[in-house]
Amino acid sequence: MNEAGSLPLPGETSRSVSIRYFNFYRLVIASLLGIFGAVFQIGEASPAAYAMVVFAYWVAAVGFMLITPQTRSQLNTLLMWQVALDVVVLTAIMFISGAQRGSVPYLLMTTLAGAALVGEGRMVLGFAAMATISVLAEQVARIVLLGVHADDLTRTGITCLGYFAVALLARLLARRALVNEALARHRGAALQRQMRINSRIIEDMQDGVVVVDEKGAVRQINPRAAALLGVELVEGERVGMRVPELGAGLEDAMQMPSPVLRIERSGKTIRLRRVLTGEGGDQVLYLEDLDRIEAQAQQIKLAALGRLTANIAHEIRNPLASVTQAAELLQDEKRTQMQQRLSRIVLDNAARIERIVHDVLEVGRRDRATIEALDATAFLHNFIEEFAMHTQATRQCVQLEIEGQPKICFDRVHLAQILGNLLSNALRYCRQQPGSVRVSVVTQSDEQLLLSISDDGPGIAAEERGRIFEPFHTTDPKGTGLGLYVAQELADANGARLVLADAEQGAEFHLIARGQA
């Protein structure tokens, strides 16, 4: 805890500088009085006394310049002595000048204004009172000793009121300036902290960051960018001079979003993303390491494949055990009826294994999507007709609604697989009435359309909604639990989204895909 007057406080350094400027002003005034005093007929009544007072004033001002206060107490003491010097010297000059005092009283007013700007609290009123007493005493002395007319005392009193007015006004302005200074200091400190935090964040980013101006000169670069580019860029240096690929990529980024660059020096493949700051033409270049992204994607894919393989092994084990047991019993069984039952068990479980293998293979083909603009109306009519070809009742259950002539950007094999899985589920749980299953297509924008499949069945229980897209999760004893999982994976492979929507009755799925007007 600081003791008053013993240790420097925040803002004392700026006050010390202000007091030095104030004293420099005093030194200038003393020099001007010494040089031009005779020109303005100041001190004509006693030139020798005037010269001695001005010389002493100049020497004292030089002496004050050599003093460097460190604490609040020292600052206040120094300011008090300086103002006292001004009051005494300028009052003495007024007395010596007599009727030719000119603008000397107003110099004292300037001194009070300066003292009020750097002073504290009631010191300002004390300075004004000191000047008032000194000037009134000088005027009384002139009336008594020199016989000057008493009317000058009224004018002097008005001048003294001006001293108080100037001191108070200057103090109010000084307080306002101090508040603004404290606010600026606080905001400056906050800005410095924010800049340090931003610099640390940029340094620790996994992506490279290069900030360049409108001419392509480097303003800032993080260590990751230097590693990706294989060279240390210097601030002020143009990126194209040291890394030609980045310079060319910066020009390409003005024409196409996120160009991919191959940096020969580092052997890295990066994606360049350019962001304009909006001020001064500066640009932020984000360098994404595609090798790292691909490695992470491969790790995620391998982890997902491992989980899927474990689930496949678990799911195939049960039907395979049933097939094995039925085959063993079939070898020993002589009755025809029992042989038929065991054969049916073998065939049913073999079919289930086949469906699991088929669905897994569909997931494996997700990366081989051939996206084309399909006529949604023609495709859906043909698909539903083929899907319901063997059962007329199934076709009657499906109601197709399409607005306009939309086109959907999708791989036709993947789209057929998704629709087949969704329609199979809808027909399994619906009421089997005409229009129980509703397929609709709505164009949401020029580049997006919504394909909806809903049914009037019991719907999906709340506790099951979060798990329906998990592999091998099913409530149907005959199902594999891969239908919705495969459908979502294929949708993702085509840049679309398959979601479970909220419905008042039954279940409703939305396939949000790219479209063409």
Which residue, of 290, 319, 354, is where some domain finishes? 290
pLDDT attached to residue 389: 78
Tell me the CATH number at 253. Answer: 3.30.450.20
pLDDT attached to residue 242: 78
The residue to which tokens 């300011």 are assigned: 79
Residues 176 and 48 in one domain: yes
Which pair of structure tokens corresponds to residue 448?
């997006």
| Residue 199 forms part of a structural domain | no
pLDDT attached to residue 453: 92
Tell me the CATH number at 312. Answer: 1.10.287.130
Query: Cβ contacts of residue 318 below 8 Å, gap of 6+?
Result: none
| Residue 197 forms part of a structural domain | no
| Residue 4 forms part of a structural domain | no
Contacts 24+ apart (CB under 8 A), 260-269: 260/290, 263/228, 263/229, 263/230, 265/229, 265/230, 265/231, 266/227, 266/228, 266/229, 266/230, 266/231, 267/230, 268/228, 268/229, 268/230
pLDDT attached to residue 354: 66
Q: Contact at 8 Å (CB) between 449 and 515? A: yes
Tell me the CATH number at 508. Answer: 3.30.565.10
CA distance 88 to 175: 27
| Residue 198 forms part of a structural domain | no
| Residue 282 forms part of a structural domain | yes
CA distance 228 to 266: 6
Residues 383 and 454 in one domain: yes
Query: Cβ contacts of residue 235 below 8 Å, gap of 6+?
Result: 218, 219, 220, 221
Cα 252 from chain centroid?
26
Residues 177 and 30 in one domain: yes
Point out which residues pair with 407 in neighbouring strands.
375, 516
| Residue 138 forms part of a structural domain | yes
Q: Contact at 8 Å (CB) between 237 and 219? A: no
**Each residue's pLDDT tens digit, 3-26:** 444 444 444 567 778 888 888 888
Residues 64 and 180 in one domain: yes
Residues 83 and 125 in one domain: yes
Residues 399 and 323 in one domain: no
Which residue, of 186, 217, 236, is where some domain finishes? 186
Residues 404 and 276 in one domain: no
Residues 250 and 307 in one domain: no
**Total domains in the fold of the chain:** 4
CA distance 167 to 129: 10
End-to-end CA distance of the chain: 74
Closest residue by Cα to residue 107 from 19, 17, 18, 28: 28
Q: Contact at 8 Å (CB) between 61 and 30? A: yes
- The answer to whether the predicted template modeling score (pTM) of the entire model surpasses 0.85 is no
CA distance 486 to 503: 23
| Residue 194 forms part of a structural domain | no
Residues 280 and 246 in one domain: yes
Query: Cβ contacts of residue 327 below 8 Å, gap of 6+?
Result: 342, 346
Which residue, of 270, 290, 310, is where some domain finishes? 290
Residues 285 and 180 in one domain: no
pLDDT attached to residue 66: 85
Q: Return the percent helix, strand and coil in the chain, to nearest 5.
A: 60, 15, 25
The residue to which tokens 């979502």 are assigned: 488
Q: Contact at 8 Å (CB) between 224 and 207? A: yes
Residues 404 and 390 in one domain: yes
CA distance 218 to 216: 6
Element (H, E) at 403: none
CA distance 348 to 326: 11
| Residue 1 forms part of a structural domain | no
Residues 241 and 317 in one domain: no
- What is the phi-psi region of residue 62: left when phi exceeds 0, alpha when psi lies from -120 to 50, beta otherwise? alpha
Q: Where are the beta strands (DSSP E) in 152-195?
A: none
Indicate the residue type of 233: L
Average pLDDT by stretches of 10, the chain with 517 residues: 42 72 85 79 78 88 84 84 87 75 74 80 80 83 71 74 83 81 85 81 77 82 82 82 80 76 80 78 82 70 62 65 68 64 69 64 60 89 84 79 88 87 87 89 83 90 80 65 80 87 87 82
DSSP assignment of 249-264 equals: HHHHHTTSSS-EEEET
State which residues form the domain around 297: 293-364
